[in-house]
Amino acid sequence: MNSLKLHPDTIDEIKHRVDIVDIISERVVLRKQGKDLAGLCPFHEEKSPSFTVSPSKQMYYCFGCGAGGNAITFLMELGKQSFTDVVLDLARRYQVPVKTLEPEAREKLQRQLSLREQLYEILALAASFYQHALRQDIGKTALTYLKETREFSETTIQAFQLGYAPAGWETLYGYLVEQKRYSVQLVEQAGLVVPRQKGSGYYDRFRDRLMIPIHDTQGRIIGFGGRTLADEQPKYLNSPETELFDKGKTLFALDKAKDAISKQDRVVVVEGYFDAIALHAAGITNVVASLGTALSSDQIRQLLRYTDSKQVIFNFDADKAGIQATERAIGEVADLAYKGQVQLRILNLPGGKDADEYLRLSGTAAPYQELVENAPLWLDWQIEQTIQGKDLKQAEQYQQAVKAIVKLLCQIVDSMTRTYYAERCANLLSGGDVRLRPTIAQELIAQVKRFQRRKYTNSSEEIAVEVTVPVSSEQKLLIEAETLILKAYLHCPEYRSEIINALQQAQLNFEIATHQFLWIQIQAVQEQLELDSLELLEKLQNHYIQFPEQNSKISHLFYLDEKTKLDIHRTPLAVQASVACMERVMCEKVSRYALLRWQKTDRKLDPEGWKYYGEELTRAKQRIAELDKMRHTKFADLVQLPWIG
């Protein structure tokens, strides 16, 4: 449904009906603070409240972490949902009719929403049926298995809504279709019954199985996993793909784990349902499980929404199948991991145990938690796997190991990280011989360079190399100056004409990419408003909801801290100082360029060019001197902006 284009009238009506205080107070304890309300920020850990809500502006802002927006952005950020999903949820809550830009799409949406609501209802009823069956005589074996074999408490069984599907062929069918009068087509669409191959009629998909409900991130049941209690194959049977259930995009227990993932800033991914349940029962609640298939990139991206540090720990089984599952999962996230955008770690438990077994043998969660804390980075794990089981004294096996290691090293973008791992691998390949280590490390780096040269030569496209460049003092100056100008423009409408004139007079544009993007959006929104309109800030915020990535980078500009409040109270002077800062940065760039060209121009062969660049250099240096003098006299005592020189 994310591809739907919602009608602006629907969005406007929802914004009109929604009260930000109602939305936020359901999740944050708010207390009166003057005209506004304050509480502890739900987006980061804090002991004193820096999170404020303005009922008059219908906006929130955290002075601690910079999170800010309106009711829609709050729900998007907190629940990690798309704009469309949040708007549709609010439409249902506030009973706002949903319109789309195309009438046929609107009808399709209404049918889809109606179908989804019915499927949620049927699945919830099926879960209750299975839970009830678990407590009857027919479910005695299943309940004993849970309590004695798995050692689950009654609290855990209820928390995860575990149940039992009776052995009969039409038990659930009879309950839902014959007793509750749901159409058999709907029950089939929920994935609970299957049409018979011969003759007419249907039979239950799950029979004589321990039933584990699968929830979406909002806690609604969307499918089931069923574990056999006999020798039937498959051992685990999942619901089929349905309108609600997409196995490749769903993670078991994420609804229960997401808050803990955000607070602990990392997530542990295990293979099985019972591994996840056992860890949650032991108090380790930042855990999810894949659904018996290879972890997909969609599932990994879903997890990354909940952790700022992007720390993901794979704890799959240590047997051959588990190792293969780990390697496949690494493949899904390798590009991000090589660039350092995911902090990926691998945990293999001692003795080849899975998490459930290990917890039962340990008796407490502490040993497992310690292993999580010390889980090696994925690259260390892969290097160990490459060398494991090889006799490095045998030339053929040694070369195989070197070839695999070079392939890994070639993918590392950062040269310092690559050198570190080359030295680490050299230590492993040398068998601890200190004399051989430097030679092997140099040879590994040389092979990496040869491999990259071959790759470059054979490629028709240039290879992109990522370089991490530290932010210079000049860049910091530019960021500070442009930030102050944009804040003044947004929050002081009476000075907008003056700001535009100052920028035009100095022939300046915004250079920071996010500021450029914001300035373009300001012009686009302002075409519909008067220059001094007070509506600009609100309309711009609503406009930016559609650009979540950019919104996270500029949302701090929509709010004022105490220092900026003080600065923009002296707005004319602050603008002049900021424009002067921007101009100085531009002059520095002109100066450097003119000097470079002047030095490279032959005075005898091109006297005019040599003279021109020399004059440009002189003019730039003179203007820099003038701007520095202005800084130290006119602006210094009033506006605390950084400076160069």
Closest CA to 262 of 44, 493, 449, 539: 44
434, 430, 443: which is closest to 398 by C-alpha? 430
Nearest of 56, 60, 64, 94 to residue 75 by alpha carbon: 60
**574: Cα separation from own chain's centroid:** 37
At 342-364, the pLDDT tens digits run 889 999 888 878 899 999 988 88
> How confident is the model at residue 351, as a pLDDT?
80
Residue ranges of the domains in the chain?
8-99, 105-245, 250-375, 384-458, 473-635
Strands (E), 155-295: 163-165, 193-195, 202-204, 209-215, 221-228, 236-238, 266-270, 287-289
- Quote the pLDDT of residue 460: 34
Q: Look up the CATH number of domain 250-375.
A: 3.40.1360.10
Sign of CA dihedral 620, 626, 629, 635: negative
The length of the chain, given as a count of residues: 645
Amino acid at position 417, single letter: T
User: Which string of DSSP letters, residue by residue, matches 443-511?
Assistant: HHHHHHHHHHHHHHHH-SSPPP-----PPPHHHHHHHHHHHHHHHHHHH-GGGHHHHHHHHHHTT----
User: Which pLDDT score is estimated for 641?
Assistant: 47
Separation CA 429–CA 443 (nearest Å): 12
- Inter-residue contact 85 to 2 (CB < 8 Å): yes
At residue 138, the pLDDT reads 95
Task: Say how far apart CA 149 and CA 337 lie, in whole Å.
Answer: 38
The answer as to CATH 3.90.580.10 being correct for domain 8-99 is yes
Residue 320 is predicted with a pLDDT of 76
Give me the pLDDT at residue 108, please.
Answer: 64
Residue the block writes with tokens 């190991």: 401
**Please, are residues 310 and 291 in contact by the beta-carbon 8 Å criterion?**
no
Which pLDDT value is given to residue 87?
87
pLDDT averaged per 10 residues in sequence order, the chain, 645 residues: 66 83 84 83 84 84 84 87 84 78 61 78 95 96 95 96 96 94 93 90 95 92 94 89 89 93 91 94 95 77 80 85 81 74 86 87 91 91 88 86 90 80 89 82 85 54 34 71 84 83 78 76 72 71 63 71 64 78 82 81 79 83 82 52 44
Does the fold of domain 105-245 match that of domain 8-99?
A: no
The CATH number that domain 105-245 falls under is 3.90.980.10
- How much is the pLDDT for 459? 39
